[in-house]
Amino acid sequence: MRRSRTKSKNILLGVCSSAACFKALSLASALVKKGHEVKTVLSPSAAKLISPQLFSAVTKNEAFSEQFGESFAFSDGHISLSDWADLYVIAPATANTIGKLAAGICDNLLLTLAVSRRVKLFIAPAMESVMWKNGFVRENVAKLKSSGVRFIGPVNGRLASGSTGPGRMSEAEDIIKKLPL
């Protein structure tokens, strides 16, 4: 697949299992409205929390969640989406995914594409404050930042537990403002 050479971008949107995954649908919609092509990859847990068909309806593209699904006819098919993309955004990104990515673990399609990408990776974390502040998570974030991964947020706000603090995923428009579009 060839990369876009026009003003619009091919954006791979990774969605992790988080209470904030509904915001990823808003992000996908806003990117499409701005004229970008969006393909969505959901972690297996995210695909149980929010329907991949919702992303397909918003983006007019198939949403993926299976590492070696029927959509991939060739042996390298599971990484072909990384060749298509101009940039990769994971929003929301859980502590679990951040940790696995920092360790180079590729146990699902979302992570495999992140490790095989040749484009910039942007991560919009979403988790409880106690998780965001945890030393292991901070180390993983620092490791990814030192590798060139760019973080957008999280911000302070109301969290899924009802508490308030850092860990809330940035809003779609705030994420878009920080992307090289």
- Bond preceding residue 180 cis, omega within 30 of 0: no
Domain edges within the chain: 15-177
Query: How far from the centroid of its chain's Cα atoms is residue 137's Cα?
Result: 17
CB-based contact 62:71 (threshold 8 Å): yes
The predicted-structure confidence for 10-20, as pLDDT tens digits, reads as follows 999 999 999 99
Residue 7: the pLDDT is: 85
Gyration radius (Cα) of the chain, Å: 15
- Could you tell me how far CA 3 lies from the centroid of its own chain? 19
For residue 68, the model assigns a pLDDT of 59
Q: What superfamily in CATH does domain 15-177 come from?
A: Flavin prenyltransferase-like (3.40.50.1950)
Distance in angstroms between the alpha carbons of the first and the last residue of the chain: 20
